[in-house]
Amino acid sequence: MTLAVAAYLLNSSLLAKESALVFILDIFFIWFFRDPERTVEGPKDVILSPADGKIVDIRNNTACIFMNIYNVHVNRAPVSGKIVKMKHKDGGYLPAFFKDSHRNERNLICIESDYGLVRMVQIAGTVTRRIDTYFNVGDSVVRGERIGMIRFGSRVDITPPNGYTLIVNKGDRVKAAVSAIAIRNTTGQNDSGHHAGG
């Protein structure tokens, strides 16, 4: 606003251009760091997506969700429970959709729920230089609650407990706290190694 006023008073095209650039950047950051409210619905034993994005891979009973720059980057608890383990690992910044992104900086969060242990891994991408987590070991989280944020392009991997089946496929688009990722097996058998489209 100050630059715009100065540009007008001084009749400066340079200040006008700088003012426009600052305005555009402000709008971009407001849009990028948006954090819309989400309504959590469905049975409590259904594991929800922890992130907005696209399923880019499914392996070893783990769904990999890639968040591009257009997605909401706030991560949410996929299930209610207690955080029993957190482990941060420094690393590089390969594109987060690469299979060898296990070398990237990451943060492991393990949530002990009434239905078993859920593993969630926040992975930094090419542009990302910061992974924020809002809780610590010993804290309790509620399904759908904001649990952290990864800035710019990044990935979140989610692994359900034994006795669950992933119900997403590669290429599916999901929304944090809204889209179901995995459901409990109704047969009572452990089919955790199988999933739709796997």
Residue 25 and residue 17 in contact, taking contact as beta carbons nearer than 8 Å: no
- Count CB neighbours of 127 within 10 A: 13
- From 19, 113, 154, 192, the catalytic residue: 154
Structure tokens at 42: 């469905």
Residue 154's closest CA among 103, 95, 102, 194? 95
Handedness of CA 85, 109, 76, 63 (dihedral sign): negative
- Count CB neighbours of 28 within 10 A: 11
Is 140 tagged catalytic?
no
22 in helix, strand or coil?
A: helix
Write out the DSSP string of 55-110. EEEEETTEEEEEE-TTS--EEE-SS-EEEEEEEEE--B---TTSTTGGGB-EEEEE
For residue 98, the one-letter residue type is F
Give CA–CA dist 168/110, Å, rounded. Answer: 21
Active-site annotation, residues: 154
